[in-house]
Structure formats: C-alpha cells, structure tokens
C-alpha cells in the first residue's frame, strides 16, 4: 500500500508539467471558439491523440497510479485549461472504464481500441446510464434488454439522456434492465457496435456551460446486438442474477451497485472542479494586482484581498479532500464516511463559489465574454449536478454517517 503523501514524485511532476503545457498551449487558446460553436472540438481531440493524452494508455497509467494521485492531478490540469474541451477529451474514459470493469479480456481487446481510434482518425465513445425519469434514482431505469435465445441476440428498447458523446460515438455502452424485480441488481451493461440499426441520436442539449462537450439523448428502438455484446457474458450474468434473487428472498437489502460505482469515481469529478476553480482564481488574482482604482491596485483593498484569500483556501481544501479520497480508493480503503462524496460535494460547491467571486472581482469585465471567468462560472455549475447532485452527496454522506435510511 502506498503511503499518503502531499508531494508528487518526479514522474508525476513530469506528467503534470506535460499536461499543463498541453492545456495552456492547445486547450486554452481554443476554449472561447468551441464554447461559442457548441460543437465537439475534433481538432483539439486529434491533437491530444497525437501527443498521447487522448488514449487508453494515458488514462490507465494515471488510473492505476498506486498513490491514487495521478488521475486527479491530470484532471485538474486539463480542466484548468477549459472544462468543455477537457470533458470532450476525457468523456470516452467513462465508457472505457465500464468495459474494463465488467468486460471479458476479449471484449476489452475488441472494443476499447474502437472507442479511441487513432491520431489520424479519432473516435469517441458514450456511456449511457441516465434516463428522463431515472437520474439519481437509477432503480427507476426503464430501458429494457430482452434476450432472444433463438438468435443469441439481445434486443434493447428505451431512451437514455445526458449522454456525453451520445449519438456521435463510435461505440455506445448502454446500461439496461434485464430483471425488473431485482431493482438496480437487475441491470446489465451492453456494447452497441458502430452502425447498429435502431440506435439514433435524440435531442442534442444546448447547455448553460461545458458547451464544447456534446450532450444528447440516445434512442434505442428494437436495437439488436449479438449475445457477445453483453459485458461479462451471459453465464456470469445468470450467476449474478441467481445470487441476487436468493439474497432478495432472504430479505437482504440489495445495495445499489450503480451508486456504489459513482461513489468510487466521484473524486475525479472533484478534481475537475478544482481545475476550473483554480483557473478562475488565477485570472482574478492577476486582474486584482494590475487593475487600478482610486490610484492603487484593487488588491490593496481588504474587500478584494479577503475574497482572494477565501478563494485560495477553498481550492486547497477541496484538493486535499480529493487527494485523500483518491488515495483511499487506489489503496482499497473503504469510504466509511463517504469520503468520495465529501470530496465531490466540497469541490463542486467550491468551484461555484470561487468562479462567482472571480466574476465579482472583475466587475463589469467579468460579466463579459472578453474575459474567461464568465465561461468558467457557467462551466462550474455542472459540477453540483452531474454524477450525483450536491443534494445526493449530502444524502449519501448523512446515510453513511448515521446508518439510517434518510430520505
């Protein structure tokens, strides 16, 4: 087990400098343009692929860093560059992790390369879980997968929403219900290969922030996929369902597996929020040191200086919570106090507060698109919403601490 440390090692510092350089030189100069266009920044993703940042290899190296700090460090630097473009770069990782966690070796080798493509022909993938009536309440999922034994095919029907890269992805990973009686334990994940009939893009959302990231509905209308596209295979699924049925007969409460997965991944979202907050703070600090009013820099005024002090304190506190939870996850330490949710909750709320203060410090300039804090403030709003709202984080924390079924 790696010891918890506040200091990045030499290798991690090299990666940090490399990713920061890419964010500064490639992502930031393109941020305003792709925010205005509200389109997937394919040229930037291609540049990330050329240097190796948009690749499973890079993502896996950071994810499996024994200290747990590789992934949050990389996320912070990318999202320091721009949240919308960074999400376009890392969004495929959600689908890839879904295959890595649940797929067979053959499925991993077959599908993950098709999710990324290569530097000359980049591809993206989509992870489709949320539904119009099932966001935080994953037990209410309605998308169904029915097995056709005669043809060894699964038939998928339903509508997914809020899917990053939904409809434009080369490969879609879809979570569907196979046994409604088992709640979230009756769910399974499926690969929908490129060009499969019946899968289409529904509404593309015009968003308040992270506008360079494509978010849309995915409609599944009698989508037929080979039996081999069930992640993990049918034998493993049948065994899992049988165990779940036995536990249900014995009156054992079935744990929400999807929520447990989200709990483990939430520190990465917290790191994204830290990156956005840090970017806004740095702009505000530089502005306060150079902007003069009444014959002196505005940072000479306590009203401004104290805001900056609070902003930096929130950022550092958020990073510490993210790093603690990331280290715990990497070293098999259970989140006995919902540390994953704590990190996501605090960091996402901090990002909203810090970016709002940055806009205030810049005054009228901060309210215009001539300065990046306006965009950062819009982007920060998503962190308290996706992958579990702040209210859901508080619910998870309260239930974990009290052991009570708080509603």
Which pLDDT tens digit goes with each residue over 365-395? Answer: 999 999 999 999 999 999 999 988 999 999 9
What is the number of alpha carbons within 13 Å of residue 162 lying toward its C-beta?
Answer: 13
Rg (CA), the chain: 22
Q: Specify the 3-state DSSP secondary structure of 117.
A: strand
136: pLDDT confidence band, cut at 50, 70 and 90? confident
251 pLDDT more than 70: no
What domains sit in the chain, N to C, each tagged with a CATH number?
Answer: 10-122 (1.10.540.10), 125-246 (2.40.110.10), 257-402 (1.20.140.10)
Q: Please state the pTM of the whole predicted model.
A: 0.94
- Comparing C-alpha atoms, which of 109, 291, 257 is closest to residue 175? 257
Distance CA 22, CA 38 (A): 21
Predicted pLDDT at 184:
82
Predicted pLDDT at 263:
56
Q: What is the DSSP letter of 366?
A: G
Contacts by residues 107-116 (CB-CB < 8 Å, ≥ 24 positions apart): 107/191, 107/228, 107/231, 107/232, 111/171, 111/191, 112/56, 113/56, 114/170, 114/171, 114/194, 115/56, 115/169, 115/170, 115/171, 116/49, 116/54, 116/55, 116/56, 116/92
Place of tokens 């998870």: 396
Place of tokens 């918890």: 4
The reply to whether 387 belongs to the active site is yes
What number is the average pLDDT over the span 198-209?
Answer: 98
Distance CA 97, CA 85 (A): 20
3 pLDDT more than 90: no
- Report residue 123 as tokens: 């591809």
- Report residue 380 as tokens: 């920060």
Distance CA 294, CA 25 (A): 36
Q: Which residues are CB-neighbours of 249 under 8 A, at least 6 positions away? A: none
- Residues 76, 217, 263, 387: which is the catalytic one? 387
What number is the average pLDDT over the span 104-113?
Answer: 96
């Amino acid at each position: 087990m790696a010891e918890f440390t506040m200091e990045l090692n030499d290798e991690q510092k090299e990666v940090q400098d490399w990713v920061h350089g890419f964010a500064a030189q490639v992502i930031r100069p393109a941020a305003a343009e792709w925010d205005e266009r509200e389109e997937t920044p394919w040229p930037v993703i291609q540049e990330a692929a050329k240097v190796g940042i948009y690749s499973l290899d890079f993502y896996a190296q950071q994810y499996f860093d024994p200290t747990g700090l590789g992934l949050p460090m990389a996320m912070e630097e990318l999202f320091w560059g721009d949240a919308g473009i960074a999400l376009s770069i890392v969004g495929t990782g959600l689908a890839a992790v879904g295959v890595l966690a649940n797929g067979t070796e053959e499925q991993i080798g077959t599908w993950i390369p098709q999710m990324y493509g290569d530097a000359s022909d980049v591809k993206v993938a989509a992870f489709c879980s949320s539904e119009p009536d099932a966001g935080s309440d994953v037990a209410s999922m309605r998308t169904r997968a029915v097995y056709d034994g005669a043809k060894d095919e699964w038939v998928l029907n339903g509508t997914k929403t809020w899917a990053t890269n939904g409809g434009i992805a080369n490969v879609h990973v879809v979570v569907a219900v196979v046994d409604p009686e088992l709640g979230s334990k009756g769910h399974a994940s499926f690969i929908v290969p490129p060009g499969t009939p019946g899968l289409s893009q529904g509404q593309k959302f015009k968003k308040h922030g992270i506008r360079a990231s494509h978010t849309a509905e995915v409609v599944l209308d009698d989508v037929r996929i080979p039996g081999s596209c069930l992640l993990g295979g049918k034998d493993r699924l049948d065994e899992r369902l049988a165990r779940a049925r036995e536990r249900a007969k014995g009156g054992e409460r079935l744990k929400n597996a999807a929520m447990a997965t989200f709990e483990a991944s939430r520190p990465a979202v917290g790191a994204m929020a830290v990156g956005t907050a840090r970017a806004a703070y740095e702009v505000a600090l530089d502005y306060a040191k150079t902007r003069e009013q009444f014959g002196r820099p505005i940072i000479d005024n306590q009203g401004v200086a104290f805001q900056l002090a609070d902003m930096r304190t929130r950022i550092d506190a958020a990073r510490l919570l993210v790093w603690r939870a990331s280290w715990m996850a990497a070293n098999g330490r259970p989140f006995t106090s919902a540390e994953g949710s704590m990190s996501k909750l605090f960091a996402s709320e901090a990002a909203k507060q810090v970016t709002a203060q940055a806009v205030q410090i810049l005054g009228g300039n901060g309210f215009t698109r001539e300065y990046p804090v306006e965009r950062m403030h819009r982007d920060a709003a998503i962190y308290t919403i996706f992958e579990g709202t702040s209210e859901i984080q508080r619910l998870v924390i309260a239930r974990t601490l009290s052991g009570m079924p708080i509603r």
